[in-house]
Amino acid sequence: MGIICGLLGANLAGSFSRDIHEMFGATNYRYYEMPEEKLDEFFKNREFHGINVTMPYKTEVMKYLDYIDDEAKAVGSVNTIIKDEEGKLKGYNTDVYGFEKAWDRAEFFVHGKKVLILGTGGASKAVEYVLKNKNAGKVVKISRTGEDNYENLDKHYDADFIVNATPVGMEPFEDETPVDLKLFPNLRGVFDLIYNPLRTELILNAEELNIPCMTGLYMLVAQAKRADELFSGGTIDDRKIDSVYNAVKRNKRNLVLVGMPGSGKSTIGQVFAKEFGLRFYDTDQMIYELTGKTPEDILNADGEEVFRTLELELIKQLLEEENAVIATGGGVVTIDMGHHTIKHGSCVVYIKRALDELDLKGRPLSKKKGIEAIYNERKDLYERFSDTVIANDSTIDDAVERITDLLKIT
Ligand code: NAP
């Protein structure tokens, strides 16, 4: 049956932990989702070999432990518990290890620099511990109720780094950012501990402002590696962190193709999906299957608003997917839904093809407006919306290969 281990927390929806621990070799990783009043019984029974602890119990669980590792004691929170042969419980904090690994991977040089940590919960303590050990010049914790709060952020316009250790950016605050990065002209780096969505509003804003940034996924994977070493008593090669990180990122992220009608999104998407055994969705085709009408019919008979509303509903459903390839209609970039909504969990690729090469047979809108006018309306949106541009100027296989190379490195 293997070692019984798992994750304890109040709400485990959206957790990546089981996938990650299985990649590190765990065979019996369980989810223990429970309200606080069940904790007494859970720790009385101790029916596990080791557990990870997440929000909001990282401090709460300390009272059930027989020993606490020095680092966890210094941090004041525990996120990994091991039961020894006598049934005694010892608490550790692997967020310290995970955050340090991720910070170093981001190549954020913090010596003598000023850092703002947003939030004062369990994770913020691990972050503060690491940054102080790295001799950060000044570490300021921003709290909704503290002396340094969100109303007087202008005091800290000179911050070099910002670390988000609040839940702002994850469900139900997915469309929110904890701070406006434009207030901090000196920023050298932004670290968001959130890993689901893969890219939060804060991270997308940092990307748009060309500020180096790091999401919480690498930290999550690194801390899980350390926890698995504690569970098993063995050691795991550090290189495994990178391979698990890349695999999780690949498995959780959709590939969304945008571009002009007839630019090759569907063909390229289909070939790509087939090559890697992924699910493929073509929104124009799905609209036809759902309504019995082609997008062109709907646009001509019911107008653009009706068509875009249908398309938007469909895209929202498809965004629930993981590791799928989605070819969108050419006008998707004009929908007022906030492009970030798509980018939170997807890599968006703009398939660019010369106007005179576009295959326009039976394409929506092309008859009424003329393709050049449509292109001029949308070209900036395609560029701004996408993470990257792939030219479809040779063969389909060539375009697929370019996307494959791209996804290996992002
Ligand atoms: P926590 O103990 O609940 O603390 C979160 C802190 O954020 C609170 O203490 C609070 O500080 C602030 N906060 C809460 N709700 C807020 C809101 N609506 N607006 C602004 N601030 C709010 O949680 P945690 O364990 O420290 O985790 C914090 C975040 O880090 C979570 O998103 C978690 O998923 C993430 N995390 C990621 C990893 C990883 O491996 N990537 C590891 C641990 C945690 P104030 O009351 O002082 O404002």
CATH for 279: 3.40.50.300
Mutation probe of ligand 1 site: the residue of 93, 166, 202 with most atoms within 8 A of C-beta = 166
Same domain for 275 and 405, yes or no, is yes
Domain boundaries, position 261: 253-409
Domain count, the chain: 3
The CATH code of the domain that includes 164 is 3.40.50.720
Q: What is the pLDDT of residue 168?
A: 98
Same domain, 228 and 260: no
pLDDT tens for residues 199-227?
A: 999 999 999 999 999 999 999 999 999 99
Say if residue 54 is in the same domain as residue 199: no
**Ligand 1 pocket, residue 342 CB under 6 Å:** no
Catalytic-role residue among 38, 44, 58, 352:
58
Query: Are residues 168 and 209 part of one domain?
Result: yes
Q: For ligand 1, pick from 11, 12, 55, 80 the residue to mutate: most ligand atoms within 8 Å of CB.
A: 55
Where is the domain boundary, 219, 237, 266?
Answer: 219
Is 58 catalytic? The answer is: yes
* pLDDT of amino acid 237: 96
User: 211 and 279 share a domain?
Assistant: no
Q: Give the residue, by CA position, lying nearest to ligand 1 atom 17.
A: 168
State the pLDDT at residue 365.
Answer: 56
pLDDT in tens, 68-86: 999 999 999 999 999 999 9
Residue 204 Cα, ligand 1 centroid: separation in angstroms? Answer: 19
On whether both 284 and 154 belong to a single domain, the answer is no
pTM for the whole structure: 0.91
Quick one: 16 and 75 in the same domain? yes
Q: What is the CATH number of the domain that holds 65?
A: 3.40.50.10860
Using 50 as the pLDDT threshold, list the residues of the chain that sit under it.
Answer: none
How many angstroms is it from 55 CA to the middle of ligand 1? 8
For the chain, what is the HEC assignment? CCCCEEEEECCCCCCCHHHHHHHCCCCCEEEEECCHHHHHHHHHHCCCCEEEECCCCCCHHHHHCCEECHHHHHHCCCCEEEECCCCCEEEECHHHHHHHHHHHHCCCCCECCEEEEECCCHHHHHHHHHHHHCCECEEEEECCCCCCCCCCHHHHCCCCEEEECCCECECCCCCCCCCCHHHCCCCCEEEECCCCCCCCHHHHHHHHCCCCEECCHHHHHHHHHHHHHHHHCCCCCCHHHHHHHHHHHHHHCEEEEECCCCCCHHHHHHHHHHHHCCEEEEHHHHHHHHHCCCHHHHHHHHCHHHHHHHHHHHHHHHCCCCCEEEECCCCHHHCCCCHHHHHCCEEEEEEECCHHHCCCCCCCCHHHHCHHHHHHHHHHHHHHHCCEEEECCCCHHHHHHHHHHHHHHC
Q: Do residues 208 and 261 both lie within one domain?
A: no
At 299 the pLDDT is 87
**Residues 107 and 10 placed together within one structural domain of the fold:** no
